[in-house]
Structure 1
Amino acid sequence: MKKLIYLIAVIFSSLIFGQVKDTIIDGKKTVIYSSIEKEAVFSKGNAEFQRLIAENFRLKKIRANSLITCEIKFIVEKDGTLSNITATGENESFNKEAIRAVTKIKEKWIPATINGQAVRERFKIPLTINFE
């Protein structure tokens, strides 16, 4: 079990910084940046964010017996909160658990900035677990 959680942390650490560099506009016509001057960062560090996801993740809730993946997406708001948390992947129970694990984290992020002003930023984090 500890090896599996460690695997999750290693995967996150190598991929959390691979963000798409473009500008996205949501339905409210509010600009959400993913190409910014200073990227958003979890207030306690990205390694701690990864640890909290692994800690909150309930593996017993997932129905799988092989390698499964999903991509967690969310927006870091100007005030450091997360919104629009989604997960896409082939295993629905894995997607739901990924969303629940991220939603449980209540600590705020330090928002992204452009010209010293806080801006919204979209994050994508791939998550992979091997149940073999």
Structure 2
Amino acid sequence: MRTLFICLACFISSLYLSQQKEEFRLVKNYYNQHRNMLNKEFKKKFDAESNTVKKTAIKGDFLFFMKKMDSIENNALIGALVKVRNLEDLRSINSLKAISSEKLPDIEKVADYPGGLNSLRQEVANLLYVDGVYSQEKTIKTDVAFMVEKDGSVSNVHAQGDNFTFNRQAEIALYSLAEKFSPAVIKGDPAIYRFTLPLTLTITD
């Protein structure tokens, strides 16, 4: 079993990108539709079967197909991550300024996720595809820096840790957040704000 422990901290810096979450939303919608179709077909087959042994086999087949679907979806999400990264690299990330540490006293309101940090923590844990993380170490860590844009969307997600697969899954999870943040505010106006999210994945037998 794998347990995700997440600690949160805030830091500051720059960067900007819009509409990147649409790539991840399209992938998730596509595979959720296919899951729903498979679920209906397996349910029909399960309900029509009277033999207990065969029912158990049908259930096993269903779980196998769902696990395969998760793996295929993860590959598609990795493709979306690569596409978003390429778009980010094409943009001039230094053209817009984020809140700097020197301006901290001017912040009227920091960026916040709906429900607070605990909700953010829980959603990241739920979105992390741990079967896509490969490690011989029992405990692995990464620091995920990301921008909260003026419209509350997440952009420029970069994870830095020793385990590449954990970094990649953490980045996908942040880009896949369902809700937008409420943006930071300076002098009455929305402002770009940077978070750093330390993640620790503990793998237990």
TM-score between the two structures when normalised by the length of structure 2: 0.54
* Contact 2:154–2:174 (8 Å) recurs in 1: no
| Cα offsets for 1:59-104 (capped at 9, x unmatched) | 1111113211000111000000011011111100000000111111
- Ranges in structure 2 where 5+ consecutive residues have no aligned partner: 16-92
* Contact 2:155–2:175 (8 Å) recurs in 1: no
Higher-strand-fraction structure = 1
- Ranges in structure 1 where 5+ consecutive residues have no aligned partner: none
The answer to whether structure 1 residue 115 and structure 2 residue 187 are counterparts is yes
The answer to whether structure 1 residue 28 and structure 2 residue 94 are counterparts is yes
Identity of aligned residues (%): 30
Higher-helix-fraction structure = 2
TM-score between the two structures when normalised by the length of structure 1: 0.82
Matched position secondary structure for 2:201:
strand
How big is the alpha-carbon RMSD for the aligned residues of Structure 1 and Structure 2? 1.8
Larger radius of gyration: 2
Q: 2:118 aligns with which of 43, 47, 50?
A: 47
Q: Which letter maps to 1:33?
A: I
State the match for 1:60 in structure 2: 131
Please give the alpha-carbon distance, in whole angstroms, between the structure 1 residues aligned to 2:96 and 2:173. Answer: 27
State the match for 1:77 in structure 2: 149
Question: What displacement does 1:116 show?
Answer: 1.5
Number of residue pairs aligned between Structure 1 and Structure 2:
121
Please give the alpha-carbon distance, in whole angstroms, between the structure 1 residues aligned to 2:201 and 2:160. Answer: 14
Q: Which runs of 4+ in 1 moved over 4 A?
A: none
